[in-house]
Structure 1
Protein backbone atom coordinates (compact mmCIF):
# COMPACT_ATOMS: atom_id res chain seq x y z
CA UNK A 1 0.00 0.00 0.00
CA UNK A 2 2.98 2.27 0.49
CA UNK A 3 3.72 2.36 -3.24
CA UNK A 4 0.08 3.08 -4.00
CA UNK A 5 0.01 5.95 -1.52
CA UNK A 6 3.27 7.48 -2.76
CA UNK A 7 2.27 7.24 -6.42
CA UNK A 8 -1.20 8.68 -5.70
CA UNK A 9 0.26 11.65 -3.82
CA UNK A 10 2.89 12.20 -6.54
CA UNK A 11 0.29 12.08 -9.33
CA UNK A 12 -1.99 14.48 -7.44
CA UNK A 13 0.80 16.98 -6.72
CA UNK A 14 2.36 16.86 -10.20
CA UNK A 15 -1.03 17.53 -11.77
CA UNK A 16 -1.98 20.36 -9.43
CA UNK A 17 1.44 22.02 -9.66
CA UNK A 18 1.46 21.79 -13.47
CA UNK A 19 -2.01 23.38 -13.63
CA UNK A 20 -1.01 26.15 -11.25
CA UNK A 21 2.18 26.97 -13.16
CA UNK A 22 0.76 26.82 -16.69
CA UNK A 23 -2.73 28.20 -16.13
CA UNK A 24 -2.15 30.71 -13.35
CA UNK A 25 1.54 31.69 -13.29
CA UNK A 26 1.94 31.70 -17.08
CA UNK A 27 -1.60 33.11 -17.38
CA UNK A 28 -2.87 30.61 -19.91
CA UNK A 29 -6.37 31.52 -18.70
CA UNK A 30 -5.76 34.98 -20.19
CA UNK A 31 -3.64 34.33 -23.30
CA UNK A 32 -5.57 31.12 -24.16
CA UNK A 33 -2.70 29.42 -26.03
CA UNK A 34 1.05 28.98 -25.79
CA UNK A 35 2.96 27.09 -28.46
CA UNK A 36 5.70 25.10 -26.73
CA UNK A 37 6.94 22.74 -29.47
CA UNK A 38 4.38 23.26 -32.23
CA UNK A 39 2.57 21.23 -33.37
CA UNK A 40 3.67 18.38 -31.10
CA UNK A 41 3.15 20.16 -27.77
CA UNK A 42 0.91 23.15 -27.25
CA UNK A 43 -0.82 24.62 -24.25
CA UNK A 44 -4.46 25.47 -24.92
CA UNK A 45 -6.80 26.60 -22.17
CA UNK A 46 -9.78 24.33 -21.63
CA UNK A 47 -12.60 23.85 -19.14
CA UNK A 48 -13.85 20.27 -19.15
CA UNK A 49 -17.35 20.14 -17.74
CA UNK A 50 -17.94 16.56 -18.88
CA UNK A 51 -16.21 13.23 -18.49
CA UNK A 52 -13.57 13.16 -21.22
CA UNK A 53 -13.25 14.93 -24.57
CA UNK A 54 -16.30 16.94 -23.53
CA UNK A 55 -18.49 13.83 -23.41
CA UNK A 56 -21.21 14.07 -20.83
CA UNK A 57 -21.19 17.85 -20.85
CA UNK A 58 -24.21 18.90 -18.83
CA UNK A 59 -24.01 16.10 -16.27
CA UNK A 60 -24.15 17.50 -12.74
CA UNK A 61 -20.72 18.28 -11.32
CA UNK A 62 -21.72 16.39 -8.17
CA UNK A 63 -22.54 13.24 -10.15
CA UNK A 64 -19.07 13.40 -11.73
CA UNK A 65 -17.41 13.99 -8.35
CA UNK A 66 -19.28 11.10 -6.70
CA UNK A 67 -18.50 8.82 -9.64
CA UNK A 68 -14.77 9.60 -9.46
CA UNK A 69 -14.67 9.12 -5.68
CA UNK A 70 -16.58 5.81 -5.84
CA UNK A 71 -14.29 4.47 -8.59
CA UNK A 72 -11.21 5.60 -6.65
CA UNK A 73 -12.47 3.93 -3.47
CA UNK A 74 -13.26 0.76 -5.42
CA UNK A 75 -9.73 0.62 -6.86
CA UNK A 76 -8.26 1.34 -3.42
CA UNK A 77 -10.25 -1.44 -1.72
CA UNK A 78 -9.47 -3.90 -4.51
CA UNK A 79 -5.74 -3.08 -4.38
CA UNK A 80 -5.74 -3.37 -0.58
CA UNK A 81 -7.37 -6.81 -0.65
CA UNK A 82 -5.49 -8.27 -3.61
CA UNK A 83 -1.86 -9.30 -3.64
CA UNK A 84 -0.72 -7.09 -6.52
CA UNK A 85 2.69 -6.68 -8.09
CA UNK A 86 4.56 -3.45 -7.44
CA UNK A 87 3.79 -2.08 -10.91
CA UNK A 88 0.06 -2.68 -10.35
CA UNK A 89 0.17 -0.85 -7.00
CA UNK A 90 1.89 2.09 -8.69
CA UNK A 91 -0.71 1.98 -11.48
CA UNK A 92 -3.55 2.01 -8.94
CA UNK A 93 -1.95 4.99 -7.22
CA UNK A 94 -1.61 6.91 -10.49
CA UNK A 95 -5.26 6.29 -11.33
CA UNK A 96 -6.46 7.33 -7.86
CA UNK A 97 -4.18 10.38 -7.64
CA UNK A 98 -5.23 11.62 -11.08
CA UNK A 99 -8.92 11.09 -10.35
CA UNK A 100 -8.73 12.94 -7.02
CA UNK A 101 -6.81 15.80 -8.67
CA UNK A 102 -9.64 16.22 -11.16
CA UNK A 103 -12.17 16.00 -8.30
CA UNK A 104 -10.38 18.90 -6.59
CA UNK A 105 -10.66 20.94 -9.80
CA UNK A 106 -14.39 20.27 -9.93
CA UNK A 107 -14.77 21.30 -6.29
CA UNK A 108 -12.79 24.53 -6.76
CA UNK A 109 -13.83 25.62 -10.27
CA UNK A 110 -16.89 23.55 -11.13
CA UNK A 111 -14.97 22.00 -14.05
CA UNK A 112 -11.61 20.35 -14.76
CA UNK A 113 -8.80 22.59 -15.99
CA UNK A 114 -7.17 21.25 -19.16
CA UNK A 115 -4.18 22.65 -21.01
CA UNK A 116 -2.26 20.00 -22.97
CA UNK A 117 -2.75 19.68 -26.71
CA UNK A 118 -0.83 17.58 -29.21
CA UNK A 119 -1.06 17.57 -32.99
CA UNK A 120 1.11 15.90 -35.57
CA UNK A 121 1.58 15.05 -39.20
CA UNK A 122 -1.09 17.35 -40.60
CA UNK A 123 -3.69 16.31 -38.00
CA UNK A 124 -4.96 19.24 -35.94
CA UNK A 125 -6.17 17.83 -32.62
CA UNK A 126 -8.96 20.02 -31.17
CA UNK A 127 -8.95 18.30 -27.76
CA UNK A 128 -7.14 19.31 -24.59
CA UNK A 129 -6.35 17.27 -21.50
CA UNK A 130 -4.27 17.54 -18.35
CA UNK A 131 -1.56 15.62 -16.52
CA UNK A 132 -4.14 13.92 -14.27
CA UNK A 133 -5.79 12.47 -17.38
CA UNK A 134 -2.42 11.00 -18.41
CA UNK A 135 -2.04 9.43 -14.96
CA UNK A 136 -5.60 8.05 -15.01
CA UNK A 137 -5.07 6.52 -18.44
CA UNK A 138 -1.61 5.13 -17.59
CA UNK A 139 -2.92 3.73 -14.30
CA UNK A 140 -5.87 2.03 -15.98
CA UNK A 141 -3.65 0.50 -18.68
CA UNK A 142 -1.18 -0.64 -16.00
CA UNK A 143 -3.98 -2.31 -14.03
CA UNK A 144 -5.28 -4.04 -17.16
CA UNK A 145 -1.87 -5.52 -17.96
CA UNK A 146 -0.42 -6.04 -14.47
CA UNK A 147 -3.43 -6.11 -12.14
CA UNK A 148 -3.63 -9.86 -11.64
CA UNK A 149 -3.65 -11.16 -8.07
CA UNK A 150 -0.31 -12.91 -7.48
CA UNK A 151 -1.69 -15.25 -4.81
CA UNK A 152 -2.24 -18.79 -5.95
CA UNK A 153 -5.92 -19.41 -6.69
CA UNK A 154 -7.78 -21.61 -4.23
CA UNK A 155 -8.48 -25.11 -5.44
CA UNK A 156 -12.09 -25.55 -6.47
CA UNK A 157 -14.09 -28.40 -4.99
CA UNK A 158 -11.84 -29.18 -2.06
CA UNK A 159 -9.79 -32.41 -2.35
CA UNK A 160 -8.33 -33.53 -5.61
CA UNK A 161 -9.65 -36.94 -6.79
CA UNK A 162 -7.15 -39.80 -6.73
Structure 2
Protein backbone atom coordinates (compact mmCIF):
# COMPACT_ATOMS: atom_id res chain seq x y z
CA UNK A 1 0.00 0.00 0.00
CA UNK A 2 2.88 2.34 0.81
CA UNK A 3 4.09 2.06 -2.79
CA UNK A 4 0.95 3.81 -4.07
CA UNK A 5 1.39 6.70 -1.66
CA UNK A 6 5.02 6.98 -2.77
CA UNK A 7 3.83 7.15 -6.41
CA UNK A 8 1.39 9.93 -5.50
CA UNK A 9 4.10 11.78 -3.57
CA UNK A 10 6.51 11.45 -6.51
CA UNK A 11 3.90 12.95 -8.84
CA UNK A 12 3.29 15.83 -6.43
CA UNK A 13 7.03 16.54 -6.13
CA UNK A 14 7.72 16.40 -9.88
CA UNK A 15 4.62 18.50 -10.56
CA UNK A 16 5.59 21.18 -8.03
CA UNK A 17 9.23 21.18 -9.22
CA UNK A 18 8.27 21.69 -12.86
CA UNK A 19 5.86 24.46 -11.87
CA UNK A 20 8.54 26.15 -9.77
CA UNK A 21 11.09 25.93 -12.60
CA UNK A 22 8.53 27.31 -15.04
CA UNK A 23 7.70 30.30 -12.85
CA UNK A 24 11.40 30.99 -12.22
CA UNK A 25 12.60 30.70 -15.80
CA UNK A 26 9.76 31.58 -18.20
CA UNK A 27 7.98 34.94 -18.18
CA UNK A 28 4.17 34.74 -17.99
CA UNK A 29 2.63 33.91 -21.39
CA UNK A 30 6.06 33.47 -22.98
CA UNK A 31 6.93 30.31 -24.91
CA UNK A 32 10.15 28.30 -24.94
CA UNK A 33 10.36 25.87 -27.83
CA UNK A 34 11.64 22.44 -26.82
CA UNK A 35 10.98 20.34 -29.93
CA UNK A 36 10.10 22.56 -32.91
CA UNK A 37 6.48 22.20 -34.06
CA UNK A 38 5.87 19.49 -31.44
CA UNK A 39 6.49 20.59 -27.84
CA UNK A 40 7.05 23.86 -26.05
CA UNK A 41 6.76 25.27 -22.55
CA UNK A 42 4.48 28.24 -22.04
CA UNK A 43 3.92 29.74 -18.61
CA UNK A 44 0.15 30.03 -18.17
CA UNK A 45 -2.02 30.67 -15.10
CA UNK A 46 -5.29 28.74 -15.06
CA UNK A 47 -7.94 29.93 -12.60
CA UNK A 48 -10.35 27.19 -13.67
CA UNK A 49 -10.31 23.49 -14.37
CA UNK A 50 -9.57 21.74 -17.66
CA UNK A 51 -9.99 24.11 -20.61
CA UNK A 52 -10.40 26.89 -18.01
CA UNK A 53 -13.97 25.88 -17.19
CA UNK A 54 -15.40 27.26 -13.94
CA UNK A 55 -12.80 30.04 -13.85
CA UNK A 56 -12.40 31.74 -10.50
CA UNK A 57 -14.51 29.20 -8.56
CA UNK A 58 -11.77 28.41 -6.03
CA UNK A 59 -14.09 27.42 -3.17
CA UNK A 60 -15.76 24.89 -5.45
CA UNK A 61 -12.37 23.40 -6.31
CA UNK A 62 -11.32 23.32 -2.65
CA UNK A 63 -14.45 21.45 -1.60
CA UNK A 64 -14.41 19.03 -4.53
CA UNK A 65 -10.70 18.27 -4.12
CA UNK A 66 -10.98 17.58 -0.39
CA UNK A 67 -13.90 15.22 -1.04
CA UNK A 68 -12.11 13.49 -3.93
CA UNK A 69 -8.90 13.06 -1.93
CA UNK A 70 -10.88 11.61 0.99
CA UNK A 71 -12.71 9.16 -1.26
CA UNK A 72 -9.47 8.11 -2.98
CA UNK A 73 -7.71 7.47 0.33
CA UNK A 74 -10.73 5.50 1.57
CA UNK A 75 -10.80 3.29 -1.55
CA UNK A 76 -7.03 2.91 -1.57
CA UNK A 77 -7.21 1.57 2.00
CA UNK A 78 -10.31 -0.57 1.60
CA UNK A 79 -9.87 -1.94 -1.94
CA UNK A 80 -6.35 -1.00 -3.05
CA UNK A 81 -4.85 -4.34 -2.06
CA UNK A 82 -7.36 -6.22 -4.22
CA UNK A 83 -6.10 -4.96 -7.58
CA UNK A 84 -2.85 -3.25 -8.60
CA UNK A 85 -4.39 -1.48 -11.60
CA UNK A 86 -7.11 0.00 -9.39
CA UNK A 87 -4.55 1.12 -6.78
CA UNK A 88 -2.23 2.59 -9.42
CA UNK A 89 -5.06 4.56 -11.01
CA UNK A 90 -6.05 5.92 -7.58
CA UNK A 91 -2.47 6.90 -6.78
CA UNK A 92 -2.12 8.82 -10.05
CA UNK A 93 -5.43 10.60 -9.48
CA UNK A 94 -4.42 11.36 -5.89
CA UNK A 95 -1.05 12.82 -6.89
CA UNK A 96 -2.58 14.90 -9.67
CA UNK A 97 -5.41 16.20 -7.51
CA UNK A 98 -3.08 17.23 -4.71
CA UNK A 99 -0.56 18.77 -7.12
CA UNK A 100 -3.14 21.14 -8.57
CA UNK A 101 -4.76 21.68 -5.14
CA UNK A 102 -1.46 23.02 -3.78
CA UNK A 103 -1.41 25.65 -6.55
CA UNK A 104 -5.02 26.63 -6.00
CA UNK A 105 -4.56 26.88 -2.25
CA UNK A 106 -1.37 28.98 -2.28
CA UNK A 107 -1.54 30.83 -5.62
CA UNK A 108 -5.29 30.98 -6.40
CA UNK A 109 -4.51 29.54 -9.86
CA UNK A 110 -2.81 26.49 -11.36
CA UNK A 111 0.51 26.83 -13.17
CA UNK A 112 0.35 25.17 -16.59
CA UNK A 113 3.31 24.91 -18.94
CA UNK A 114 3.27 21.95 -21.33
CA UNK A 115 2.09 22.89 -24.79
CA UNK A 116 1.65 20.52 -27.71
CA UNK A 117 2.34 22.53 -30.85
CA UNK A 118 0.99 20.03 -33.36
CA UNK A 119 -2.63 20.14 -32.15
CA UNK A 120 -5.00 22.72 -30.67
CA UNK A 121 -4.95 21.56 -27.08
CA UNK A 122 -4.96 23.48 -23.79
CA UNK A 123 -1.68 24.02 -21.97
CA UNK A 124 -1.33 21.50 -19.12
CA UNK A 125 1.02 20.30 -16.37
CA UNK A 126 2.33 17.11 -14.76
CA UNK A 127 -0.63 16.91 -12.34
CA UNK A 128 -3.03 17.09 -15.29
CA UNK A 129 -1.13 14.29 -17.02
CA UNK A 130 -1.30 12.12 -13.89
CA UNK A 131 -5.03 12.79 -13.53
CA UNK A 132 -5.68 11.93 -17.18
CA UNK A 133 -3.61 8.75 -17.09
CA UNK A 134 -5.17 7.78 -13.74
CA UNK A 135 -8.70 8.23 -15.07
CA UNK A 136 -7.78 6.28 -18.22
CA UNK A 137 -6.43 3.42 -16.11
CA UNK A 138 -9.56 3.55 -13.93
CA UNK A 139 -11.71 3.18 -17.05
CA UNK A 140 -9.60 0.19 -18.13
CA UNK A 141 -9.94 -1.30 -14.66
CA UNK A 142 -13.73 -0.86 -14.70
CA UNK A 143 -14.02 -2.41 -18.17
CA UNK A 144 -11.83 -5.33 -17.10
CA UNK A 145 -13.80 -5.75 -13.87
CA UNK A 146 -17.11 -5.75 -15.75
CA UNK A 147 -15.70 -8.27 -18.24
CA UNK A 148 -14.68 -10.57 -15.36
CA UNK A 149 -18.18 -10.32 -13.89
CA UNK A 150 -19.70 -11.05 -17.29
CA UNK A 151 -17.45 -14.10 -17.71
CA UNK A 152 -18.43 -15.40 -14.25
CA UNK A 153 -22.14 -15.05 -15.07
CA UNK A 154 -21.62 -16.64 -18.46
CA UNK A 155 -19.79 -19.63 -16.95
CA UNK A 156 -22.46 -19.89 -14.23
CA UNK A 157 -25.25 -20.07 -16.83
CA UNK A 158 -23.54 -22.76 -18.90
CA UNK A 159 -23.00 -24.99 -15.86
CA UNK A 160 -26.69 -24.87 -14.82
- Same fold by TM-score, threshold 0.5 exceeded? yes
Does residue 65 of the first structure (1) align with residue 65 of the second (2)? no
- Residue ranges of structure 1 left out of the alignment (5+ in a row): 153-162
Match of 1:97 in 2: 95
| Alpha-carbon distance in 1 for matches of 2:88, 2:121 | 31
Match of 1:28 in 2: 26
| Alpha-carbon distance in 2 for matches of 1:108, 1:21 | 16
Match of 2:12 in 1: 12
| Alpha-carbon distance in 2 for matches of 1:114, 1:43 | 9
Describe how 1:1-162 pairs up with structure 2 within 5 A. 1-24=1-24, 27-30=25-28, 32-59=30-57, 61-82=58-79, 83-120=81-118, 123=119, 125=120, 127-146=122-141, 148=145
Aligned residues: 145
Contact 1:41 / 1:117 at 8 angstroms: preserved in 2? yes
- Residue ranges of structure 2 left out of the alignment (5+ in a row): 150-160
Decide which structure has greater helix share: 2
Contact 1:3 / 1:89 at 8 angstroms: preserved in 2? no
Q: Which runs of at least 4 in structure 1 moved beyond 6 Å after TM superposition? A: none
Give the secondary structure class of the aligned counterpart of 2:42: strand
Q: What are the Cα deviations for residues 58-98 of structure 1, in whole angstroms up to 9, with x where unaligned?
A: 32x12212211211211221222124322321221111011
| Alpha-carbon distance in 1 for matches of 2:82, 2:62 | 27
**TM-score when normalising by structure 1:** 0.80
| Alpha-carbon distance in 1 for matches of 2:72, 2:113 | 27
1:30 Cα deviation from its structure 2 partner: 4.7
1:4 Cα deviation from its structure 2 partner: 1.7
| Alpha-carbon distance in 1 for matches of 2:82, 2:47 | 34
Contact 2:88 / 2:134 at 8 angstroms: preserved in 1? yes
